[in-house]
Structure 1
Amino acid sequence: MNFLLQRVVLQDLPAESHENRTRLGMLAGWVSVVISIFMGSGKLLLGMASGSVSMLADATNNFTDAGSSLVIALGFQWSRKPRDEAHPFGHGRIEAVATLVLSLALVLVGAEVGRTGFSRLINPQPVEAPLWVLVMVGVTVAVKAWMAVFARQLARLTKSKVLEADAWNHAFDIVCTLMVLGALLCSRYGWGAVDGWTAIGVAAFILYTGISFAREAIDILLGKRPDPETVREIHDVVLEVDGVMGVHEIMVHHYGDVKMVSFHVEVDARMSLVDAHLISEDAEATVEKTFNWRALAHLDPVDRSHPFFDVLSRCVHEYLEQEDCLVDAHDLRAEGEHAPFNVSFDLVTDMETSRAEYDGIYERALQWLERRIGGQVSGVEIGIEAAVESAPMARREFQLPSSGK
């Protein structure tokens, strides 16, 4: 295993780099293609010799593995294509497409294997299981175990979802082949029905694997929500940059191995535009250095020097504690030299809150402001958005009844 890795990996680049990821992905794919074809052919001959439908189902599973591994190898090959005008972020998402093709193939094969198993239960046939057949099946289990460990090691090195899926596929194959081995042993003692039930069990494994991989690939292609822990790490890294007063609206965009992150940084409204721009560049550089991602920062000026700012901030954050659906508030502003002041702020909801619930949030927020600071505020502007959202922020303006306007 180490011999293969040393021959393929470029030692001057990290294993998770785009070049090494594609090299290791192609290695995993082609090795699996060759071995799966040999194993499928061997099990096909064993199944025909023994008359075991579960063995033939396992052989079909191996041939499907060969086809899906071919898709994996070609997918990594295609992902090496350089960026072009039509695809400025590269072709990394082809890896998710390869995973989706793999999963669809598994679902189709699983359905066919299940049909074959039911057919054997309805029309039972004798199964011959001589000792040499059992030994050969045991050898295929050992080969599959090596393939599972090999794919798992490559997935860990490259952090590739498609290789992780392939590793799990090999692991499930081991379980399936052990089930076939058990069915053959049972057949020697006259329990022929076990062969049909085993074929159905193999089908269930294949279907479960295919559906799981399909969901993961579809999530990636549609734009999967970033991991909350990753968002928190980005938040903490940006907040440590000198001059940054707050961070919000962190969005992570995945294009295969290419990742981009955008975020809003709050800076002192009194500083010059040049100084504020330097802070945003520092924030971008810090994220790019820490995560090796492309970063883009948006500036939000915040005037905390206003005499009413602390009162407003305390009131808004106390309101956050009253609403389970709210997770953050930002862009707080107070305007006017004397009370009543005009204030504005943005509220951030969790991902489960629908826009149909925004009216209720507005109403409860206004009631809270009126009770707490109603005599000191006239105009109120409130924005509401989800923690991660592509739609424009919902924003409305109000006049507090207590202002007399």
Structure 2
Amino acid sequence: MQTNEKNRAGNEKLCTMPCPAMSFLLRKVLDPETPPDGHENRTRLGMLAGWTSTVLSALLALAKGWLGLVSGSVSMIADATNNLTDMGSSLVIALGFQWSRKPRDEEHPFGHGRIEAVATLILAVALIIVGAEVAKSGLGRLIAPKPVEAPAWLLVAVGVTVAVKTWMAVFARRLAKLSKSQVLEADAWNHTFDIICTLMVVVALVSSRMGWGAVDGWTALAVAAFILYTGLTYAREAIDILLGKRPDPSEVRDICRAVASVAGVMGSHEIMVHQYGDVKMVSFHIEVDAKMSLVDAHAVSEEAEHAVEKRLGWRAVAHLDPVDRSHPLFDELNDMLHLFIQEEDGLVDVHDLRAEGVAPPFKVSFDLVTNMETHHDEYGAIYERCLKAVGKAFFGRVGQAAIGIEAAVESAPMARKCFNVPAS
């Protein structure tokens, strides 16, 4: 009950905006008892942004298209085409958020959240196509200049479209901030670029009145550059999400802090973050004392999962790695390997360290972690240097070493090899 009251008060504050129309729309859409970035409110805000932008973009495209035909301005027609593309991309956004509301099913156990990235990619492709067509029109106008009619009433009409676009940009950015949605943030930037493009059209119209007709063609090319840049940026971001980009370092640090706060955890590694729209899952390995009972170790893993879920609000899965620190060689080997890592530019950590045997020569095993810039072709040299360092530090005391090498974040299996350690 207290949580609902807190959410209701917070949403009421968020809905209070300088523009009455924005406040009215937010109050109509938001569920007052859940946070604005929760799944239900997030999809509602996305649909509101998409449908509002679709209607207004369609009206702007019609208005600018008519103004472009009346004036003969290719840059105005290019701007109208850009708004027409905005209408299509906004429709995709609205439908994408509506689709993302579908509950998980047998074929999609993690829901349909990644449809947002698909919507962003479709938006990006549309922008790239339109940008190319606008550039083609601008080049044609430079090659074959034509007079442009730019009466004062036309400039006033264009100014009105700028005011409408400014409202759309502010509204979209507000919804993006509330929902924490990347696709809405992209849509807000798209509206911002549209404002810049329309202002450039105003410059072209004013220049045409002064007899500088070539400015119209150059403005069309500049508008095309904005559109292409925006499309390529969105495409890269959407593809990164669909392919699975590496997690944010700050998120990884939060996970490590949450796990480290649990009593009984001796270390953590192999942190993997999986994102499905606004749904995130994390898996990680935790090191515990090998002498701990299975029941106690399982309790520690569950507590670590709960700590991460409480801190980040994600589903967490922990894997147990037992570590036996009682071996007389363990501390010395641990210190030697951490010193070796400090001297190696490509290495960042070591884990799963084990030493076996009651008398020399002992058997040891450990896993080295590389940074993301270290290529697999460099692993051979790392094996060689590490084996040499172990042989030098433990002359005659270590006979075999099983060494694994893995990247900090990687889906490929670990590269592991066993070596006979040289006695000198």
Structure 1 and Structure 2 fold alike (TM over 0.5): yes
For residues 262 and 31 of structure 2, the distance between their equivalents in structure 1, rounded to whole angstroms, comes to 35
Gaps of 5+ in 2: 1-21
Is 170-179 or 303-312 further displaced after alignment?
303-312
Q: Which residue of 1 aligns with 2:209?
A: 188
Q: Which residue of 2 aligns with 1:234?
A: 255
For residues 373 and 200 of structure 2, the distance between their equivalents in structure 1, rounded to whole angstroms, comes to 42
Q: Does 1:113 align with 2:156?
A: no
Distance apart, 1:339 and its partner CA: 2.6
For 1:135-154, what aligned pairs fall within 5 Å after superposition?
135-154=156-175
Tell me the alpha carbon deviations over residues 353-386 of structure 1, each in whole angstroms, 9 at most, x when there is no partner: 1212111100000111112222321111100001
Tell me the alpha carbon deviations over residues 295-328 of structure 1, each in whole angstroms, 9 at most, x when there is no partner: 0000000111222111000000000011101011
Distance apart, 1:201 and its partner CA: 0.4
Q: Which residue of 1 aligns with 2:398?
A: 377
Tell me the alpha carbon deviations over residues 126-145 of structure 1, each in whole angstroms, 9 at most, x when there is no partner: 00111110011111111111
Gaps of 5+ in 1: none
Amino acid at match of 1:73: A
Is 368-377 or 159-168 further displaced after alignment?
368-377
Tell me the alpha carbon deviations over residues 211-233 of structure 1, each in whole angstroms, 9 at most, x when there is no partner: 00000000100111111121111
Q: Does 1:274 align with 2:262?
A: no
For residues 394 and 173 of structure 2, the distance between their equivalents in structure 1, rounded to whole angstroms, comes to 59
Q: Matched residue of 2:31: which SS?
A: coil
For 1:230-269, what aligned pairs fall within 5 Å after superposition?
230-269=251-290
Q: Which residue of 2 aligns with 1:303?
A: 324
Is 70-79 or 232-241 further displaced after alignment?
232-241
For residues 310 and 200 of structure 2, the distance between their equivalents in structure 1, rounded to whole angstroms, comes to 49
Q: 2:109 aligns with which of 88, 105, 119?
A: 88
For 1:305-320, what aligned pairs fall within 5 Å after superposition?
305-320=326-341
Q: Which residue of 2 aligns with 1:52?
A: 73
For residues 360 and 275 of structure 1, the distance between their equivalents in structure 2, rounded to whole angstroms, comes to 40
Q: Does 1:365 align with 2:386?
A: yes
Q: 2:45 aligns with which of 10, 24, 45?
A: 24
Q: Between the two proteins, what is the percent identity of the paired residues?
A: 69
Distance apart, 1:391 and its partner CA: 1.1
For residues 199 and 394 of structure 2, the distance between their equivalents in structure 1, rounded to whole angstroms, comes to 71
Q: Which residue of 2 aligns with 1:156?
A: 177
Q: 2:88 aligns with which of 67, 71, 82?
A: 67
Distance apart, 1:341 and its partner CA: 1.6
For residues 160 and 90 of structure 2, the distance between their equivalents in structure 1, rounded to whole angstroms, comes to 21
Q: Does 1:36 align with 2:57?
A: yes
Following TM superposition, where does structure 1 have runs of at least 4 consecutive aligned residues deviating by more than 4 angstroms? none
Q: Which residue of 1 aligns with 2:421?
A: 400
Pairwise CA RMSD: 0.8
Tell me the alpha carbon deviations over residues 241-298 of structure 1, each in whole angstroms, 9 at most, x when there is no partner: 1110000000000011111000000000001000000000000011111111110000
For residues 229 and 293 of structure 1, the distance between their equivalents in structure 2, rounded to whole angstroms, comes to 15
Q: 1:100 aligns with which of 121, 126, 149?
A: 121
Q: Matched residue of 1:58: which SS?
A: helix
Instruction: Report the TM-score when normalising by structure 1.
Output: 0.98
Amino acid at match of 2:129: L
Distance apart, 1:74 and its partner CA: 0.2
Q: Does 1:351 align with 2:372?
A: yes
Distance apart, 1:352 and its partner CA: 1.6
Amino acid at match of 1:60: T
Q: Matched residue of 1:85: which SS?
A: coil
Q: Matched residue of 1:374: which SS?
A: coil
Amino acid at match of 2:247: P
Distance apart, 1:54 and its partner CA: 0.3
Q: Matched residue of 2:393: which SS?
A: helix
Q: Matched residue of 2:130: which SS?
A: helix
For residues 328 and 179 of structure 2, the distance between their equivalents in structure 1, rounded to whole angstroms, comes to 53
Amino acid at match of 1:336: G
Amino acid at match of 1:206: I
Q: Which residue of 1 aligns with 2:154?
A: 133
Instruction: Report the TM-score when normalising by structure 2.
Output: 0.94
For residues 422 and 231 of structure 2, the distance between their equivalents in structure 1, rounded to whole angstroms, comes to 59
For residues 147 and 325 of structure 1, the distance between their equivalents in structure 2, rounded to whole angstroms, comes to 48
For residues 382 and 33 of structure 2, the distance between their equivalents in structure 1, rounded to whole angstroms, comes to 54
Q: Which residue of 1 aligns with 2:30?
A: 9
Q: Which residue of 2 aligns with 1:218?
A: 239
Is 332-341 or 271-280 further displaced after alignment?
332-341
For residues 153 and 309 of structure 1, the distance between their equivalents in structure 2, rounded to whole angstroms, comes to 55
